Amino acid sequence: MAAVVNEVTGIWSLTGHLSGGTCRAKWDELHALVAGQAQWLKAPRPGSPGLCAVCRAPSGRKQRCFQCELHHQCAGDGLADIVLPVAYSPKGGLLARHLRLYKSDPDATGRAAAAELLLALLLVFLRDHGACAWGAGRSAEPTHVAVVPMARGRPGEHPLRALIAPYLTWRWADLAAQPDERQRDLDPRRFSAQPVPGGRVLLLDDTWTTGASAQSAAMALRRAGARSVTVVVGGRHLRPDQVGLLELSAAIAPFSTDTCAEHEAKHVVTRP
């Protein structure tokens, strides 16, 4: 995966960095970090019926869940080409907790531990299954990367961008929340984007709940000239009742770094 900074041969341990250390982890150690959490994680089972074709939430016999169908009716081709959640994040579960704490825990140690797992999940996924994402979206490898902006009123750089930016070599496509837009619904005016004519943009987000934020950001990138938008999200939020529906339909699977929601064997990158 050329766009992940392989020269680093790993990433800085955030916990070590915050304490002044210089600990590095190689790719196999990153996989070990993710694998150590796998028993608490769940993911979409590739090819399962009953999953929304967009966000992988329960959709019954329909192609899209209610929310994604509403977005499709409103925006159609203005939305992202493909959405891939790395894992499910059920309410109250381990991943949902990490996705909250990495940007809000007042304790620096807890914040760093949550951030370290999220960073490992995203980098391992992008390296091993990025090609699955581009292939599913019928696009070549991205030319740009962006992060869905925070809600209006939160100053400074998005924690996710600050976390992952040192390890990616794609150019950044800048997105910003419009100062007069406060609602959380799908809205093409909610964000603004710097021009990316003909760009193929990887759009990262930490959590997908309704998808309105990510899809509004995708619409802004389209207006800015993006040819394609691929969304990769750390956790697809689920309510307890949604988890039950997925378990009944066998559409939920144990998490594994060897597969993803759009997994195809020919796309897999062999690890050293």
The total number of structural domains in the chain stands at 1
pLDDT of 81-111, one tens digit each? 999 999 999 999 999 999 999 988 788 888 8
pLDDT of 47-69, one tens digit each? 888 899 999 999 988 999 999 99
Predicted confidence band of residue 202 (pLDDT cuts 50, 70, 90): very high
Any domain includes 160: yes
Predicted confidence band of residue 156 (pLDDT cuts 50, 70, 90): confident
- The SS3 of residue 83 is strand
CATH code of the domain covering residue 198? 3.40.50
Any domain includes 96: yes
Q: Which residue in the block uniquely carries the two structure tokens 């799908």?
A: 186
For residue 218, what are the domain limits? Answer: 9-267
pLDDT at 48: 87
Any domain includes 195: yes
Any domain includes 4: no
Any domain includes 62: yes
Q: Which one-letter DSSP state was computed for residue 115?
A: H
If you average pLDDT over every residue of the chain, what do you get? 84
Any domain includes 99: yes
What DSSP letter does each residue of 29-72 carry, written as one string?
HHHHHHHTTGGG-EEEPTT-TTB-TTT-SB-TTSSS-HHHHHHH
pLDDT at 57: 95
Using an 8 Å Cβ cutoff, are 60 and 79 in contact?
Answer: no
Q: Is the pLDDT of residue 153 over 90?
A: no
Any domain includes 21: yes
Number of neighbours of residue 178 by Cβ within 10 angstroms? 15
Any domain includes 73: yes
pLDDT at 7: 36
